[in-house]
């Protein structure tokens, strides 16, 4: 634990983690820079970067900002180097099972970088048609509905007749149209429990989120206008404060983002087509008999014994 703590402090002061992520460090770090060592092995910056390849790129910065975690990784690399050297000295890699596992892991690593190579070397094409197609497919999701900022006072009909509620609403509307402070009006007249918190103001909201009759009345108003509307909750005096129109983006608005997504999709298709060629190669064959021998066999459950008809003694 003490060694790890010392190593963490040293790596934090060197700001090594910033270099691999394109963040400015105090000075460049060469691949052969030694990060940890003892009399038997050493760990270089290159070793660290290779180890961090297993962490998704978007998570590496957060991981490497922790000096303690980074030091632990470096210490583990050093331990693995020593144990690996001992294993080679004793000939462990010659054992059939271990050799197969080493070969399997090597093939996985090379396959990963072969996939990256396919993406990097994919033929350059005009991605605009694909980007435009993706834009049109997603247009409904990219649209933003109109947002209505409003204010209202609710006069409930629970303790009064609908006619009395309507007369009270007319008084409220007259005060609103006369320019009296809306928060003061709501505090005095509204029966909405939320008035004590929001003073009757409703944040920008799509009409689809509101009561249908309330929304229909609000839709007909211009900013600054008010109306009386009846709903199942009672009688409302509603005023439109601000309208943010419906936003329908054009392809040019989102061209940069769409091209980036199109490039990613195109490279994925290049890899998928490559893999499809391998899978559909006429010479490819799954050896069913061998695979069947590999699968474990569950013991067969014997059938239940036949029912025995009881005999009667006379």
Domain locations in the chain?
A: 2-97, 108-135+253-279, 147-244
The model's pTM: 0.63
> What is the per-residue pLDDT across 111-142, written as a single tens digit (0 to 9) for each?
999 999 999 999 999 999 999 999 999 999 99
CB 104 within 8 A of CB 223: no
> What is the per-residue pLDDT across 6-37, written as a single tens digit (0 to 9) for each?
444 444 444 444 444 444 445 688 999 999 99
Who's near 95: CB < 8 A, 6+ residues apart?
none
> What's the pLDDT at 4?
45
> What's the pLDDT at 6?
44
- The CATH architecture annotation of domain 147-244 reads Roll (3.10)
DSSP H helices in the chain: 2-14, 16-20, 45-52, 57-64, 67-89, 96-120, 128-142, 162-177, 182-189, 195-198, 212-219, 255-279, 288-294
Q: Mean per-residue pLDDT for 73-94? A: 95
CB 90 within 8 A of CB 98: no
Name the token pair of 8. Answer: 């963490």
Between CA 25 and CA 61 the distance in angstroms is: 13
Between CA 78 and CA 87 the distance in angstroms is: 14
């Amino acid at each position: 634990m003490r060694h790890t703590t010392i190593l963490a402090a040293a790596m934090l002061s060197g700001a090594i983690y910033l270099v691999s992520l394109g963040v400015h460090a105090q000075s460049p770090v060469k691949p052969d820079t030694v990060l940890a060592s003892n009399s038997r092995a050493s760990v270089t910056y290159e070793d660290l970067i290779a180890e961090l390849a297993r962490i998704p790129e978007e998570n590496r910065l957060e991981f490497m900002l922790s000096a303690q975690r980074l030091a632990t990784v470096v210490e583990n690399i050093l331990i693995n180097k020593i144990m690996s050297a001992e294993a080679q000295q004793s000939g462990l890699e010659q054992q059939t099972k271990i050799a197969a596992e080493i070969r399997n892991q090597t093939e996985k690593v090379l396959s990963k970088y072969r996939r990256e190579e396919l993406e990097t070397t994919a033929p350059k094409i005009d991605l605009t048609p694909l980007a435009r197609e993706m834009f049109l497919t997603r247009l409904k999701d990219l649209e933003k509905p109109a947002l209505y900022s409003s204010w209202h006072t609710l006069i409930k009909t629970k303790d009064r007749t609908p006619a009395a509620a309507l007369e009270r609403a007319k008084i409220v509307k007259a005060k609103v149209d006369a320019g009296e402070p809306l928060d003061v009006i709501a505090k005095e007249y509204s029966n909405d429990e939320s008035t004590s918190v929001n003073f009757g103001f409703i944040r920008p909201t799509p009409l689809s989120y509101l009561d249908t009759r309330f929304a229909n009345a609000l839709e007909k108003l211009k900013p600054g206008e008010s109306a009386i509307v009846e709903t199942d909750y009672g009688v409302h005096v509603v005023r439109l404060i601000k309208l943010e129109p419906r936003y329908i983006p054009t392809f040019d608005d989102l061209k940069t983002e769409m091209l980036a997504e199109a490039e990613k999709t195109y490279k994925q298709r290049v890899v998928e087509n490559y893999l499809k060629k391998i899978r559909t190669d006429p010479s490819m064959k799954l050896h069913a008999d061998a695979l069947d021998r590999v699968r474990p066999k569950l013991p067969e459950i014997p059938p239940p014994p036949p029912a025995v008809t009881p005999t009667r003694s006379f």
